[in-house]
Each structure stands twice: as C-alpha cells, then as structure tokens.
Amino acid sequence: MSWEAVIGLEIHVQLKTRTKMFCRCAVGALDDPNTRTCPVCLALPGSLPVPNRQAVEWTIRLGLALGCEIAGHAVFHRKHYFYPDNPKGYQISQYDEPLCVNGRVRLPGPDGVAEIGITRAHLEEDAAKTLHVGGAEGRIHGATASLVDFNRGGTPLVEIVTEPDIRTAEQARRFLQLLRQTVVELGISDAEMEKGSLRFDVNVSVRPTGSDELRTRTELKNMNSFAFAARGIEHEIERQIATYESGGQVEQETLHFDPNREDAPPLRSKEEAEDYRYFPEPDLVPIEPLREWSLDELGGKLPESPSARLERVLAAGLELRDAEALNAEPARVSLFETIGEAGVEPRAAAAFVLNDVAPRVDPARVDGAELAKVLRERDQIPREALDAAVAASASKGFTADEYLRERTVADASELDPVIDRILSENGQQVEAYRGGKEGLLGFFVGQVMRETQGKANPKVVNERLREKLKT
C-alpha cells in the first residue's frame, strides 16, 4: 500500500511593534530581565488592557497578504492556563471570532503550484520567559531555581494556522520559508528563529494515498530551523507508516524533537486533553475592522508576495535552489528579470546575479540594463573587465561603454594576417609542432596575444592557430 502524509502548521510570529499588545511597555525581550514591565503586563490587580492599534492593523495586512477574509467583528478571549510565565492565569487570545479566516496561499514548487488553505490568523499576547538555572542545558530537570523574565510577556503575537493541505516535508519547508519572507517583507516582524520571533509546531498524520480520511495526528514541537523541521517531519512520516504497516496504531501525542539526537527516537509525552475555558475578555470591546480601516487602502499598499515572485522565477525554467536563492531578496529577482529582458538566457542570468553580483554589490542599486550590455559581451572582453563592471554597476552614472571598449578582437579577418606573420617568422617551431610537439600551441598563442596587446580573443586565436597548423 502506498501512503501520503497530511501536514498542518501552526506558526507564531512576534510583531515588531514599538510597544506591547495591551500596555505601553517597550517591546524588548532581549533587554535586561524584567526592565520592560508595568502593572498591566505583570497582571497587577485593577490594571486594564488597551489594544495596540498597530498590531491589529499589521495582523489585518498579513491576513490580506495570505488571501484571508477579514472579519467584520473580532473578539478577544481569555484562554486559561496556570503557568509561571503567565501571571494573569490566562492569556488574551482569540477564539471563535478571529481577525482573519479562510485564506489561501499559492505554494510554487518544482512540480507545479499547490494551494495551501489558511484556517485563521489571530492576534494574541506572548507569555513571559522561564529560565531554569543550575541544571544541564537550561532544563528544569536538575535545576536549582527557575527564574521568570517578564520582558517578553505581553508582546504581540500572530498565530497562523494552516489547513492540513501540505503533503510532504519539502512542501512544509517551502511554505515556512515563504511565510517568513512574507512577514519580513511586510515589515511587521524580524521572524528570526534564533531569537524566537518565529516559532512553529507541525501536525503530522498519514493515510493511504487517495483516501480523504484524517487519521490520528502527532504534534512536533521544538523545531529550530526549516531544514531541521523537514527532517523531523520526514522521520515522523516514516515512523507512522511503519507503525500502521506492522499492525499498530498511532497515538495522539506531542513529540519533543531533539536537534542533537536527530536519529534517536524522539522524547514523547502524552498530550493532555486541554480545556482552556475560553470566555470573552470583558475588559476589551470587540474590534470592527471593516469600520475602522479601509481594506482597499491596507491591501493596496501590500508589496508583491514572495510566493508570486517565486512562481514567476520558476516559470522561467530555473532549478528550485536557484529560484529560492534569487527570491530571497526582491531586488535579486528584478535584476534577474532586467538582465533576462536584455537577452541573457535565464540560467546564465541567475548564475550571474547569484555568483557575481550579490556577493559584491547590493542588487537593489545596480543599473541592470547597463550591466546586461556588458554581460552579453562576456565572451569578447577580458574577465577582469566584467568584474570591474560588476563592481562599478551600483555606482551613480555607471555605463557599459567603458567596459565594452575592452572588447577583444575576435574577427578572423583581423587576426589572420597577424597569425600568418607569426607562423612564417617561426618556421622551426611550426615544424616541431607538426612533428608532434603540440605543447607549442601555447607559444604561438602567446605571440599573437603579445602582437595584439592582449586584445585578441584567446578562444578564436586557438581555433585559428589549430586550423592553420594542420598539415
């Protein structure tokens, strides 16, 4: 029997607003511990939350970028749980009336475009951070004390939940990559996994290929990179298939994947049936986005989506790897396209942008049309001239002319008389070459280059010499 995976993602993105979600504290999770706190985010009695308008607006923009419907009426709920990182005893989140629902994202890949549904995107506040000290690797086990840093507590967080539309680990990696780029390019989050401003969980189940059932799923947590997540998902798909094929059942559980023990069985913990006793937050009025904002205005200001760019670049016939590397910066893609429009073949244009331009100059500042003129003549000019053109291409007033003047002489009618003269002046070497000393070709090339002050095109000189030295 063949199997297919059913994968859904839950992604948390920390917004880079200046202040927290419900108070005026500055967002600064990495500042000195407990220096960014106030009665509201410490949950002192009598304090009242006030929503951050910027955070709501950014969540709506993200929703629009993900093709979501924006709710006319959105409500904050209290989600109850007791934990030291949560001083109120509940987190303000959204439940059955989130800001954004029913989105759709195009996910381009080497085998065409998949469509991934977005169940919802809602706004909530982040928890504080607990540090366990005295034990190994910051784990609670063996620790002598647990410390809480409330700087992160109350930071605005968007949670994005996908439909279980993802079928492979590689698709999951690509989706996460594009989502990360989307929030970074919208300017609403740094989305840095190392800093915790982008975090995600993965739900995985498998089913016989072609069936539409949804079997028991497991949840992978603790993912710390996209590549690592892809390996973790791969691993979990194989484990579930093996379980079913040996007659067993997959149990609903949360797997804490350990990055340092990749091939070892993950540490398992049973998921508790959770009851958060959600109820509407009585201290906050519902949000009415359609009355407060003009969606046309918010949507009209959206930059082109990274997904649409990737789709275009792949359609030009590039390998996924190159397409993704170009897509990492919008300016790389537009330079690639300008160079392509100037008649350079797509693969060559991509290789040039990635290997020659991007490591040396900022592609956003390059005059692509002028640089393309030099690139088109790359076989006719010395390598150094092309390099010099790249280095200068981001400067004001850059033109191709100066570098094209270095164009080599490739015209046989100009080169032949020079070659003929050199051959007649070096009769002895000609004899020796024809007698089998083919290494002498380099000697003749050298002579021609000297005569032409280096302007001769070496490829053509080689061809002409071989032709003329034939017996």
Contact residues: Zn ion, CB under 5 A = 23, 25, 38, 40-41
List beta partners, residue 24. none
Rounded to 10 deg, the angle between the 458-469 and 412-425 helix axes is: 50
Of residues 23 and 325, the one with the C-beta less far from Zn ion:
23
CB of 61 to Zn ion, least distance (A): 24
Of residues 23 and 70, the one with the C-beta less far from Zn ion:
23
Strand bridging mode 218-221 / 253-256: parallel
Of residues 21 and 350, the one with the C-beta less far from Zn ion:
21
Q: 3-class DSSP state for residue 191?
A: coil
CB of 36 to Zn ion, least distance (A): 7
Of residues 19 and 426, the one with the C-beta less far from Zn ion:
19
CB of 140 to Zn ion, least distance (A): 26
CB of 26 to Zn ion, least distance (A): 9
Interatomic CA distance for residues 301 and 279, integer angstroms: 35
Q: Which residues contact residue 297 at a Cβ distance below 8 angstroms, ignoring those fewer than 6 apart?
A: none
Of residues 25 and 448, the one with the C-beta less far from Zn ion:
25
Distances (CA, A) of 233 to 6, 126, 179, 257: 11, 26, 18, 10
Q: What's the first-to-final CA gap in the chain, in angstroms? A: 68
Of residues 91 and 327, the one with the C-beta less far from Zn ion:
91
DSSP 352-400: IIIIIITTTS-GGG--HHHHHHHHHTTTTS-HHHHHHHHHHTTSTT--S
Of residues 152 and 217, the one with the C-beta less far from Zn ion:
152
Phi, psi of 310, deg, nearest 5: -60, -40
CB of 197 to Zn ion, least distance (A): 18
DSSP 276-338: ---EE-TTSPPB-HHHHS-HHHHHHTPPPPHHHHHHHHHHTT--HHHHHHHHTSHHHHHHHHH
106, 311 Cβ separation under 8 angstroms: yes
233, 220 Cβ separation under 8 angstroms: yes
CB of 156 to Zn ion, least distance (A): 12
CB of 25 to Zn ion, least distance (A): 3
CB of 169 to Zn ion, least distance (A): 40
Of residues 40 and 172, the one with the C-beta less far from Zn ion:
40
